[in-house]
Amino acid sequence: MLDSVRSRLTLWYTGVLALVLILFSVSVYGLLARQLYRRLEGGLYTTIEGTARLLTQERQEGESEREAAHSALTEQYFPHHAVAIFDEQEHLLAAHTPPGSVPARLLTPWQQASTRPLFFTATGKQATAKGAARVTVQRVVVVPPQTPYIIAVSQSLETVTAELALLRHIFAGTVPLALMVAGIGGWFLARTSLAPVVEMADSAQRISVENLAQRLPIANPRDELGQLAATFNALLARLEASFAQQRQFMADASHELRTPLAVMHTTADVTLQRPSREESEYREALAIIGQQTQRLTRLVVEMFTLAYADAGQRPLHLQAFYLDELLTETARAAQVLAARKNVAIVTALVPEALCYGDEELLRQMILNLLENAIKYTPPDGQVQMTLVRQNGQYRITVTDTGGGIPVDAQSHIFERFYRVDKARSRTAIGHGSGAGLGLAIARWIAHAHNGALTLAHSDATGSVFVAALPAPAFR
Ligand code: ADP
């Protein structure tokens, strides 16, 4: 039961309220008891004062010590107080005890010298609260003639104890009742406040990969629970987008894989249709199958690279090397491709460009850019590659004299599987056919190095791609 927030909230709430109520009751009870005793003692003291005044009067009128004591008692009316007057030797001179009251008496041993009033509680025959009385004793000296008296006044505590008992009963009845009402109220309040959480949990439980488009209900977007739901919904939106991207990737990938497989299948079927063929025909068929296998291999390697990059499992093997040397090597490797189309590769590179990065990945990035430049440049064209150091960055520029990229396609060329001329690329055979992953991989490599890859310019005269990489501070 304590595992539920609702129960814990209710228990805390009721517990704190119980503490407050108990503290309140004890304080009120204590204050009232003190007040009642004070009032009672004030009454007792007034009676002593009145009796002393009468004793003085009687003595001044010439009565004897004992007569004065009697007169002082008979001339007063004490409905609740029992009064006793003693001489200095503690012999009783006169006493008045209302019916049912505890007689006033002295405390033994009595401090003779004291003239200050002394208060104490005396119990009757049975030591019950009903028989108890509050007593005040004071030694007074009546002048003239100098006569010391000891006056004791007492009043039963019955009324006070009855009032306090009533208060105790009131508290004993109301505090548990208040706690019960507060507990039940608190339970319902907690249930109502937590209802949106339960609803959110139910909705969240129903959400799976199949229905990621579902969202949690937001009762009040301004309160804490509303904000929680909104945050959760934002998370769902990001997951949904990511899943959609993955699905698209899978769909595009299987589409791309299907074409070379179909070409290979058809080639084999057609070639084997006749029982025998010329050797040249077999060679041609095998050449087609070989090219398609090459294409497939490249596609699988590219997809593998991107899948690893997405999963964050392609760590960079960082090392120091000279970027200009890497660019020269890559240009030499691309030369084979360029020579077939009689495309010239011209380089202008800043020397000793010390760089810190993953050499293999950066080689692939440059190769992708150079291959594209050569691929989309007509025969006898030119591809230019420059390297400069600028504002703490290396800027690699690859410029071609190809036909350029259509304006509406320029913002998409870095997307996965995007190709400007889809039909041509997919059916084309050999080196001319890419799957549209080259630039996506190149851009990821630049980003992984805290750099950037952009298409700086493209029109009918050619395209310019710029890769920026952070350069080390020392040189
Ligand atoms: P692919 O492997 O098909 O070349 P990329 O991701 O490298 O895929 O390029 C995506 C698309 O961008 C290409 O299909 C092509 O249409 C266009 N493109 C890339 N580089 C150039 C370029 N230098 N000149 C013209 N078009 C280009």
- Judge if 286 and 150 occupy the same domain: no
Pocket flag, ligand 1, residue 436 (CB < 6 Å): yes
Confirm whether 217 is domain-assigned.
yes
| Ligand 1 midpoint to CA 435 (Å) | 9
- Judge if 290 and 345 occupy the same domain: no
Confirm whether 380 is domain-assigned.
yes
Domain end call among 162, 193, 222: 162
Give the other-Cβ count within 10 Å of 160's Cβ.
Answer: 19
| Ligand 1 midpoint to CA 322 (Å) | 28
| Ligand 1 midpoint to CA 385 (Å) | 17
- Judge if 462 and 353 occupy the same domain: yes
| Ligand 1 midpoint to CA 413 (Å) | 7
Instruction: Write down the pTM of the prediction.
Output: 0.62
Pocket flag, ligand 1, residue 418 (CB < 6 Å): yes
- State both tokens at 98: 């209302």
Q: Is 124 exposed, middle or buried (0-12, 13-18, 19+ CB in 10 A)?
A: middle
**Domain residue limits at 81:** 5-162
| pLDDT per residue of the chain (475 residues) written in tens, 0 to 9 | 667 888 898 999 999 999 999 999 999 999 999 999 999 999 999 999 999 999 888 888 888 888 888 988 888 887 888 899 988 888 889 888 887 777 777 766 566 667 788 888 887 655 444 578 888 888 888 876 787 888 999 998 888 999 999 999 999 999 999 999 999 999 999 888 888 888 888 888 988 888 888 888 888 888 888 898 999 999 999 999 988 888 888 898 898 899 899 999 999 999 999 999 999 999 999 999 999 999 999 999 999 998 888 888 888 999 999 999 999 999 999 999 999 999 999 999 999 999 999 999 999 999 999 999 999 999 999 999 999 999 999 999 999 999 999 999 999 999 999 988 765 554 444 445 578 999 999 999 999 999 999 999 999 999 999 999 999 886 5
Domain end call among 128, 162, 196: 162
Residue 122's SS3 state is: strand
Give the other-Cβ count within 10 Å of 119's Cβ.
Answer: 15
- Judge if 131 and 49 occupy the same domain: yes
Pocket flag, ligand 1, residue 402 (CB < 6 Å): yes
Q: What whole-number distance in Å separates Cα of residue 420 and Cα of residue 458?
A: 13
Of 439, 459, 465, best ligand 1 pocket probe by most atoms within 8 Å of the beta carbon: 439
Of 372, 384, 397, best ligand 1 pocket probe by most atoms within 8 Å of the beta carbon: 372
| Ligand 1 atom 4, closest CA | 434
Q: How many domains does the chain have?
A: 3
- Judge if 270 and 344 occupy the same domain: no
| Ligand 1 midpoint to CA 336 (Å) | 19
Pocket flag, ligand 1, residue 384 (CB < 6 Å): no
pLDDT digits (tens, 9 = 90+) for 213-267: 888 888 888 888 889 899 999 999 999 998 888 888 889 889 889 989 999 999 9
pLDDT digits (tens, 9 = 90+) for 413-434: 999 999 887 655 544 444 455 7
| Ligand 1 atom 16, closest CA | 420
| Ligand 1 midpoint to CA 358 (Å) | 24
- Judge if 337 and 227 occupy the same domain: no
Predicted pLDDT at 125: 57
Q: Under a CB-based contact definition with an 8 Å cutoff, are residues 83 and 150 in contact?
A: no
- Judge if 123 and 259 occupy the same domain: no
Q: What whole-number distance in Å separates Cα of residue 271 and Cα of residue 267?
A: 6
Q: What whole-number distance in Å separates Cα of residue 440 and Cα of residue 3?
A: 51
User: What CATH number does residue 102 fall under?
Assistant: 3.30.450
| Ligand 1 midpoint to CA 418 (Å) | 8
- Judge if 53 and 111 occupy the same domain: yes
Predicted pLDDT at 399: 97
For residue 385, what are the contacts with CB-CB under 8 A and spacing of at least 6? 327, 331, 345, 346, 347, 348, 349, 366, 370, 396, 397, 398, 399
